[in-house]
Structure 1
């Protein structure tokens, strides 16, 4: 990776650690995100931290709730860009696209939660806007979910389907190890 490549970390907030959430997949996702986070900083590549700010006052992501805060290990540094969103897509009404264009950034690496919601929505938009986008399969996770027919799907199934929706169409799906091998030191 010789061109500026932004690492976009989506919704790694304290609310995502709630025991009330459904079962999830990929218990190593946070460690992989942390590895990418550290490597991007070491390489001097841009890091963008995205957090969801809910419009619902009862949400754990509502302003003033502890759940809206970034998890301690993913706190942005003062010079790193923070995006606050109210919908799953990190590009909608946030200025993220303009921020990236102003810095000549055309390559994105997306990690975070949840694979089938905010990660997928943001990656679809990034791809549609012409960004070269990578979604890091083992640095994302999601939760068990019922499909439209009412069948409960495991988090692993939901995760894999979301990645399949993205790969080759809106983004390329890669692993943490692959990206770390290519990152200049």
Structure 2
């Protein structure tokens, strides 16, 4: 079985798993319908093994965004909300208004360093937006970043010159850029979970 080595205090960073991303008419078509199940399973493994979990929430400053504060879409999805506070390890809530969880409140980098955390796993939404940006910045800051690709998803997107890419194409481009560029190790949920469980059993 695939397995990724996980430190005893490796953090799980759950990025923007919010109800507003369910509004398909706003975002368009998504990929990876199994992402939510994979995200939930990672949270369960991290909480069961006593590892730290960081829940990140995007408080969009855009008045029409489904993620704006005061709107129901700003809330975490139910499966995330019901898991908050259930672990035996440290837990942190970070709120942000930009793509990177490292530019949020409280300061994620400062918290990681205070907790002695040097490795973290990224899961959440969107693959090529806030999840990727958080991973890239983590790599720049010197962390060992693990990107659980199938525990993320994104949406079709239009760009310049009339170019348009489907969600799965964008997700693969993120994986290639992060892994090939040395920002993060891109792996599966199964590999991450197996490494975390094995590490806990060896304690």
| TM-score, reference length from structure 1 | 0.95
Give the drift of 1:54. 1.1
Provide the C-alpha distance between the structure 2 equivalents of 1:3 and 1:74, rounded to a whole number of angstroms: 22
Provide the C-alpha distance between the structure 1 equivalents of 2:153 and 2:52, rounded to a whole number of angstroms: 22
Give the drift of 1:154. 0.9
Q: 5+ residue gaps in structure 1?
A: none
Provide the C-alpha distance between the structure 1 equivalents of 2:47 and 2:18, rounded to a whole number of angstroms: 19
Look up the match of 1:134: 146
Name the count of aligned residue pairs: 185
Look up the match of 1:82: 93
Provide the C-alpha distance between the structure 2 equivalents of 1:2 and 1:8, rounded to a whole number of angstroms: 14
1:102 to 106, 114, 117: 114
- 1:5-154 equivalences under 5 Å are 5-20=10-25, 21-75=27-81, 76-77=84-85, 80-94=91-105, 95-154=107-166
Look up the match of 2:9: 4
Give the drift of 1:3. 3.0
Provide the C-alpha distance between the structure 2 equivalents of 1:3 and 1:77, rounded to a whole number of angstroms: 19
- Does 1:174 find its partner at 2:187? yes
Provide the C-alpha distance between the structure 2 equivalents of 1:2 and 1:84, rounded to a whole number of angstroms: 25
SS at match of 2:14: strand
Give the drift of 1:153. 1.0
| TM-score, reference length from structure 2 | 0.87
Give the drift of 1:77. 1.4
> Aligned-pair RMSD on alpha carbons?
1.3
> 93-102 or 120-129, which moves further after superposition?
93-102
Give the drift of 1:148. 2.5
Provide the C-alpha distance between the structure 2 equivalents of 1:46 and 1:97, rounded to a whole number of angstroms: 14
Look up the match of 2:3: none
> 149-158 or 30-39, which moves further after superposition?
149-158
Q: Is the contact made by 2:7 and 2:119 (CA closer than 8 Å) also made in structure 1? A: no
Provide the C-alpha distance between the structure 2 equivalents of 1:23 and 1:181, rounded to a whole number of angstroms: 31
TM-superposition CA deviations, 1:130-179 (whole Å, max 9, x none): 00000001001111112323222111001100111111421000001111
Provide the C-alpha distance between the structure 1 equivalents of 2:79 and 2:14, rounded to a whole number of angstroms: 12
